[in-house]
Amino acid sequence: MRKDLALVTILLAVLTAGCRPGPVDYTTLPEEKVRRAADSLAQVFILTDGHVDLPYRLNVRHFRLEREFLGVPIQSNTGDFDYERARKGGLDAPFMSIYIPASYQQLPDHGKAYADSVISMVTGITDSLSDKFAFAGAPAEVEANTRAGKISLPMGMENGGPIGNDLKNLEHFYKRGIRYITLSHSKDNQICDSSGDTTHTWNGLSPFGRDVVKEMNRLGIMVDISHVDDSTFYQVLALTKVPCIASHSACRFFAPTVRRDMTDDMIGKMGEHGGVIHINFYNAFLDSAVVKRNQENREKLAALLEARNLKYTDSLAKPIIEQFRQDNPSLNTDVEMVANHIDHVVKLAGIDHVGLGSDFDGVDGDLPTGLEDVSKYPNLLYVLLKRGYSPEDIEKICSKNTFRVWNAALAAARP
């Protein structure tokens, strides 16, 4: 059960400094005491994550969800998320990503049936493991679930394609539990242009997309601008009546080759509009040097196999690939780089406009050292404490900023 901030301050002062309650300067404390404080904060504060791809992992790997199966989502030696590791890391409310690949946009129903099936997978978890997981459609429900000792599984839909051309589908997905929608994914769709496409179908929002944003405001669904083209972002901010989120984005300042990330101007505008940028943990989005080095390695390996007239899937290629990867390991970022992105958002937009959006289970383990799975959040909190962030700041990053926007979206909804 979470404690109020005043009690947390007293607890941490005694725990870390061994003295009378009062402000603690974590930047000067020994590592052991700061580690202990970070572990405590992760357990004491409600910790949300704007984007976890467990449903995609379950769908692709065809894991069973029966209680007796000691795999996902209770305990697993693979992937980035399970119940035991989430508990260790203090994670209380990971938004389950209802990811719709862009290819489904071409189907007659635009992927609606597929989206419903993935949503049902999540509700299957909360139904069959109701002693451990529960749905949450609002911050108050997250708080109630946390008091009951359960991990909340709110849902966001990654790619608005399944809305099709019918605004009524928005209400359908809201009733099924969707609380944010990422307007596009890797390709332009009927709503807007994507950062992953170069077609510029609409030069931002389509006429239908403008209606989608308005209807999302009316229903209380948060508008997520992760993955959208820059032009789409600015048009959304000019149109929406409530703050937006970026459920899993990072700063283009550190990765200038990544159009998927947000520019300094976008981050500033997001803050002015009251929104929250949830920092993505994916190596390639955090540092362009990582992107460049790993791309060079991929090209070298491809050339090596081509010279031997081999394909990646050939049995004779396997030992060559393994040896190449041993000799040329992928470049990783680390937890300090994630903290750099948080620092950058705070500098440009303020402490009220940053959160966490890991992309766990969505990037094939291509994650920073120190943030390899959901048990590792305390490592990030430790770095933030050492950089001078207060417990009040960290609570905002963990959940209060997200809850503020989520509550604002719900409050603005109209029957």
The secondary structure of 275-334, three-state, reads: CEEEECCCHHHHCHHHHHHHHHHHHHHHHHHHHCCCCCCCCCHHHHHHHHHHHCCCCCCE
Task: Specify if 224 maps to a domain.
Answer: yes
Spans of the chain, pLDDT less than 50:
62-71
**Which stretches of 122-241 are assigned E, i.e. beta strand?**
133-134, 151-152, 155-158, 178-182, 222-224
What is the span of the domain harbouring residue 12? 1-44
In tens, the pLDDT along 4-44 reads: 555 566 566 655 655 555 678 999 999 999 999 999 999 99
| Contact of 251 with 261, CB cutoff 8 Å | yes
The dihedral through the CA atoms of 371, 185, 65, 140 has a sign that is: positive
Same domain, 92 and 40: no
pTM: 0.91
pLDDT value at residue 67:
37
Same domain, 96 and 111: yes
| Contact of 146 with 177, CB cutoff 8 Å | no
Same domain, 200 and 241: yes
Same domain, 51 and 126: yes
Same domain, 232 and 352: yes
pLDDT value at residue 330:
81
pLDDT value at residue 63:
45
- Token pair of 350 as six digits: 């303020």
pLDDT value at residue 332:
86
pLDDT value at residue 59:
80
Same domain, 248 and 380: yes
pLDDT value at residue 405:
98
CA atoms in the 13 A half-sphere facing the CB of 25: 2
pLDDT value at residue 415:
80
pLDDT value at residue 331:
81
Task: Specify if 110 maps to a domain.
Answer: yes
CATH number at residue 133: 3.20.20.140
